[in-house]
């Protein structure tokens, strides 16, 4: 059945300015890190993408190695674009991808060299059947490649027309400041930074958010639910089908300590008083900071997407709630 986007898709979503740029991004953006690869259900993934757009999510975030297998998320997304978002609908989308982690064997398929970044973007464009992406990221800093080489590659990528904007991801405050200064002097200001940030992962508060504000750069946290810990899935223990139960993954059983479990339970009590799920409160908690442009969510179903979107219905916190949350997190 042909897809016709909802005529009310922009009615309920909030759009925030990305730093000091001309770009507005939805308060929630959809990441295709998990559940959109070659091993996943294509029809389910396509339903999620369609539903997200119908709800006003215009920003879809990928990377060269998303899958599994690596590259398959971009291939699947490219097929969805051709089926459902041809013509002028492309102009309603913000599509991002990245390069920085291992993608192919040999010395040119990893990290941050000019050779790797430019080759990777060319491959990503072919997989997604696109002439350009809206945002191209350096996925992580490279300790062996001069930062200037990486940043000038990003600058030249914009000049080539293969990306409209550039971003950085996983850069600490000091190296981010250096990178942003280089891009600014080159005439291609950085649009956005994508760090790992959640109630349980708060390193960005130690200077990075201040740097981004100083340079007028947006911020899009990934893993806002701490790989699922900040949901009601772990309140009673580790479910058999959860990420923490699997041997291969970013969330390990050892991460779910008794102390962490206690914090999850106490945070859930606050969420319940706020008439929110724990996941909704965790997303709202990030969005309370005006320096956060959009939060990057990952979902496995349309229902999960709707649950996350409901966080936008209650984004305000009382000072008492914030203090209580802080005491739990620092306890």
User: pLDDT-derived band of residue 252, with 50, 70 and 90 as boundaries?
Assistant: low
User: pLDDT-derived band of residue 232, with 50, 70 and 90 as boundaries?
Assistant: confident
- Is residue 158 within 8 Å of residue 151, measured between CB atoms? no
- Angle, in degrees to the nearest 10, between helices 258-273 and 278-287: 80
User: pLDDT-derived band of residue 240, with 50, 70 and 90 as boundaries?
Assistant: low
Closest listed residue to residue 133, CA positions, set 163, 153, 159 = 163
Which pLDDT belongs to residue 324? 98
248: pLDDT strictly greater than 60: no
Domains and CATH numbers, the chain: 15-231+278-317 (3.20.20.100)
pLDDT 10s digits, 84-101: 999 999 999 999 999 999
What b/e sequence results for 246-256 when a residue is b if at least 16 CB atoms lie within 10 Å of its CB, and e otherwise?
A: eeeeebeeebb
Which pLDDT belongs to residue 135? 99
pTM: 0.95
Span 154-164, average pLDDT: 98
Structure tokens of 237? Answer: 């223990």
- Is residue 52 within 8 Å of residue 305, measured between CB atoms? yes
201: pLDDT strictly greater than 60: yes
- Is residue 208 within 8 Å of residue 291, measured between CB atoms? no
- Is residue 151 within 8 Å of residue 182, measured between CB atoms? yes
Closest listed residue to residue 296, CA positions, set 98, 110, 86, 129 = 98
């Amino acid at each position: 059945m042909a897809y016709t986007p909802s005529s009310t898709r922009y009615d309920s979503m909030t759009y925030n300015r990305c730093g000091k740029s001309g770009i507005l991004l939805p308060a929630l953006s959809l990441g295709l890190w998990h559940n959109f690869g070659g091993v996943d259900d294509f029809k389910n993934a396509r339903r999620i993408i369609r539903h997200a757009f119908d709800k006003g999510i215009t920003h879809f975030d990928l990377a060269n190695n998303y899958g599994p297998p690596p590259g398959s998320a971009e291939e699947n997304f490219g097929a969805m674009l051709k089926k459902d978002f041809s013509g002028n609908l492309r102009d309603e989308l913000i599509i991002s991808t990245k390069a920085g982690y291992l993608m192919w064997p040999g010395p040119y398929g990893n990290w941050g060299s000019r050779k790797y970044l430019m080759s990777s973007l060319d491959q990503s464009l072919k997989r997604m059947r696109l002439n350009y992406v809206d945002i191209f990221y350096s996925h992580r800093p490279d300790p062996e490649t001069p930062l200037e080489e990486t940043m000038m590659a990003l600058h030249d990528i914009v000049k080539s027309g293969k990306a409209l904007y550039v971003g950085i991801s996983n850069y600490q405050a000091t190296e981010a400041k250096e990178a942003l200064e280089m891009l600014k002097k080159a005439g291609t200001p950085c649009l956005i930074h994508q760090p790992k940030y959640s109630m349980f992962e708060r390193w960005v508060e130690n200077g990075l958010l201040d740097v981004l504000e100083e340079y007028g750069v947006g911020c899009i946290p990934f893993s806002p639910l701490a790989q699922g810990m900040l949901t009601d899935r772990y309140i009673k223990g580790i479910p058999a089908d959860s990420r923490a139960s699997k041997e291969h993954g970013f969330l390990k059983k050892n991460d779910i300590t008794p102390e962490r479990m206690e914090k999850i339970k106490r945070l859930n009590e606050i969420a319940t008083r706020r008439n929110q799920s724990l996941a909704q409160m965790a997303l709202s908690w990030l969005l309370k900071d005006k320096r956060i442009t959009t939060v990057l969510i990952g979902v496995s179903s349309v229902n999960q997407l709707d649950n996350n979107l409901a966080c936008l219905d209650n984004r305000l916190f009382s000072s008492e709630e914030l203090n209580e949350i802080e005491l739990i997190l620092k306890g």
